[in-house]
Structures are given as C-alpha cells and as structure tokens.
Amino acid sequence: MASKLAFPPITDLPIPTKIFPTLPQRIPLISLHVLCSSSGHTFFGHKSPSGSSRKVASSSSSPSRLSSASSAPDAVVEEEILHSPTPDSTQDSQNDPSSKLVLVVGGSGGVGQLVVASLLSRNIKARLILRDPEKATSLFGKQDEEKLQVVKGDTRNPLDLKPSMFEGVTHVICCTGTTAFPSRRWDGDNTPERVDWEGVRNLVSALPPSAKRIILVSSIGVTKFNELPWSIMNLFGVLKYKKMGEDFVRNCGLPFTIIRAGRLTDGPYTSYDLNTLLKATAGERRAVLLGQGDKLVGEVSRLVVAEACIQALDIDLTEGQIYEINSIKGDGPGSDREKWRELFKLAHTQNLQAHS
C-alpha cells in the first residue's frame, strides 16, 4: 500500500535566464533506481503514533563505513525493520540554504541533472563529481564557482576520491546508475557491479563523518531480485548490486535516506540548458505515491524523484528510512515542504499499522 496526496502541480522554479545558454546535447538514460524500506503506507490526516525512528537490521556488512559488504553472487537480502519516527523527529531542519554544500554524484544523469538544477534554483551550493567535467557546462551553462563546483572523479576508482573533494560538504545525493541489461552504457566497465555496488561503496567509504545526510537513489524490487518478475530484470545483477549498495549505506554510520524509484519517466532531456530543465513538468503524473516495504509497482517521474531527494535533506523524520516512490495522474505536492513532510510522515504511520 502507499500514501497518496493530491496537491498543486510543480511550478516553474524562479531562476535568472541570462546566465543559462541553451546548449543542446544528448546524454544517455540513467537506469532505474531503487529504494527499500519496511512495508506500509499512510493516509492523509492520520497522526503518527510514537515510536522509535531507529532501524534494526541484520547485515552481512560491518558497521564500519570502511568495511566491505559481501560481494558474493548469492548475497543474502537482509531483513529491514523501520519504525515510525519519534515525536522529536517530526520537526524539520530549518537550515539556511547558504549553509549547505550538497555533493551530487551522478549529476549528468536523468535524475541527477534535475537535482542540480533544483539546487541552483534554491540558491543551494552544489559540488559535482563527474568523469567528464565539461558536461557540467553543457548541462548547466557557465556558473559562478560559489554556486556550482565541478571536480573530476570516478566513484569506481577509490583512488580518485581524494579528501579535498569532500571538504565543506554537508549533504550528499547519490543518483548514479547504469542499464540493467548489457548496452553501450556498459562500455568502459560501466556495469551494475562496478557502478551500483563498488561505486557506492567507494563513495560512502570516502565521506567525512561530518556529513549530515546521504540520500541514495535506488530501485523498487531490490529485496525481491530472486522472485519473478524481478528476477528477469536482475539477470545481470542490477537489483542485487543496488541492494548491496543500499546495505552498505545503511550500515555506514552516517545519517541516510534511501529513495527507491519505480520505472523512470520524463526525460532524460535532449536540451540541457537550465531553463529547459526548470520548466520541465511531470505532465499529468504529479500525484505522489509513497510507501515502505518494497511493495510499490509502477512508474515515477524523474522530476518527482529529484524533488523527493531535495526535500528529504531537511525533513528530519526521513533520517534512517527507506521509501518507494511512484507518481500517478493528479496534482502533487510540488516543492511544498509541509506537504512532502506529511507524505513521509504518513508513510511511517501506515508502515507501523501494518506491523502492529
């Protein structure tokens, strides 16, 4: 089950137009991402009962962020028990946008480019790790380094992830991915094992302990990769490796939120100037379905996934939680913080009811 809220559509984000030249370019589609959590959804208007916001889970991974989870082909899917947040966690962080420096990994992909565009529109400083830094200019135009910093790096290579890349970083959004089946995207050893498992492990291991939150975009179905129909999608291991990446994040010792997306729609876009990105809409599919327990099956707009990542940065009750997200026809929460907070909160309530 999942919670549904109907709210006004995402409006165009205010951002100056003169500094974003139109530079069309084609960038390959990033793959479906996954979120995992305990079961449940909520209905608007229910109040969340008291409960622990901590997660209890068995894991083959060491609690240390520098440890390595099992990379065996038959890695066991660990049990996930996520409880409703405590009353103290229902207040959102009121952080000044200027105090943030958000590291975005996978910023040239379909979700990542929308994350970066939205951060810039909110005057939140961003730093990108890109294999090809020149893509940043094609995607986002020339930006003041005070707003957007770009560094060259590859998460598949731990030696690339130098401490200087993470200086001053307060939050991290990781939306890397590749295709589920062999394709040209796999050229250069860009496989699910290298990107979704080793890349995530290397990134998380390199993060400073001062990071306030890491948001990982994953995919629905990761806890069921041995079951039909998910086993078909997992023929080359994409769901298994995404789950291994999730487990490493969950046990790294840093505050985290995992967003498991359904099949991605809307984009990637063939015209990549910021104005195009910021004017993109989710069409009629703006209403958000949010659940826990890896039970949702469906599609989700990339714009909705990107907005969920940004909203989760400061909504305290999302810490230590895993969500699945879909979008359907209807009006949605847009960028309204309170409406997103209610969506997340109600998902916890229904999850708690499902386990009571």
Does the pLDDT of residue 81 top 70, yes or no? Answer: no
d(Cα 48, Cα 303) in Å, to the nearest integer?
27
Q: What integer pLDDT is reported at residue 44 of this predicted model?
A: 31
From residue 309, alpha-carbon distances to 232, 246, 315 in Å are 28, 15, 10
Neighbouring residues of 111: CB distance < 8 A, sequence distance ≥ 6: 30, 33, 175, 217, 261, 264, 302, 305, 306, 309
Q: Which residue has the higher pLDDT, 289 or 58?
A: 289
Q: What integer pLDDT is reported at residue 350 of this predicted model?
A: 87
d(Cα 265, Cα 283) in Å, to the nearest integer?
10
Q: What integer pLDDT is reported at residue 30 of this predicted model?
A: 32
Neighbouring residues of 40: CB distance < 8 A, sequence distance ≥ 6: 1, 291, 292, 293, 347, 348, 349, 350, 351, 352, 353, 354, 355
Given the structure tokens 């295709």, which residue do they identify?
Answer: 179
Q: What integer pLDDT is reported at residue 138 of this predicted model?
A: 85
Q: What integer pLDDT is reported at residue 306 of this predicted model?
A: 96
Is the peptide bond prior to 268 cis by the omega test (within 30 degrees of 0)?
A: yes
d(Cα 21, Cα 319) in Å, to the nearest integer?
37
Model pLDDT for residues 148-205, shown as the tens digit of each residue:
999 999 999 999 999 999 999 999 999 999 999 999 889 989 999 999 999 999 999 9
Neighbours of 158 (CB within 10 A): 14
**How many separate domains does the chain show?**
1
**Mean pLDDT along residues 214-238:** 94
Q: What integer pLDDT is reported at residue 48 of this predicted model?
A: 34
* Among 12-16, 23-27, 105-109, the range of highest mean pLDDT: 105-109
In percent, the amount of the chain with pLDDT more than 70 equals 69
3-state helix, strand, coil in the chain (%, to 5): 30, 20, 50
**Angle formed by the axes of helices 302-312 and 337-354, to 10°?**
90
Mean pLDDT, the chain, whole residue set: 78
Q: What integer pLDDT is reported at residue 60 of this predicted model?
A: 37
d(Cα 219, Cα 259) in Å, to the nearest integer?
7
Q: What is the pairing mode between strands 55-56 and 81-82?
A: antiparallel
**Angle formed by the axes of helices 302-312 and 110-121, to 10°?**
50
Q: What integer pLDDT is reported at residue 355 of this predicted model?
A: 82
- The answer to whether 21 and 328 are in contact (CB under 8 A) is no
Model pLDDT for residues 25-80, shown as the tens digit of each residue:
333 333 333 333 333 333 233 333 333 333 333 333 333 454 444 444 444 444 45
Q: What is the pairing mode between strands 321-328 and 287-291?
A: antiparallel
Q: What is the CATH number of the domain that holds 21?
A: 3.40.50.720
d(Cα 87, Cα 70) in Å, to the nearest integer?
36
Q: What integer pLDDT is reported at residue 265 of this predicted model?
A: 87
Does the pLDDT of residue 327 top 70, yes or no? Answer: yes
Q: What integer pLDDT is reported at residue 278 of this predicted model?
A: 59
Confidence grade of residue 142 (pLDDT, cut at 50, 70, 90): confident
Does the pLDDT of residue 322 top 90, yes or no? Answer: yes
Q: Which residue has the higher pLDDT, 95 or 236?
A: 236
Q: What integer pLDDT is reported at residue 54 of this predicted model?
A: 35
Range of the domain at 108: 3-354
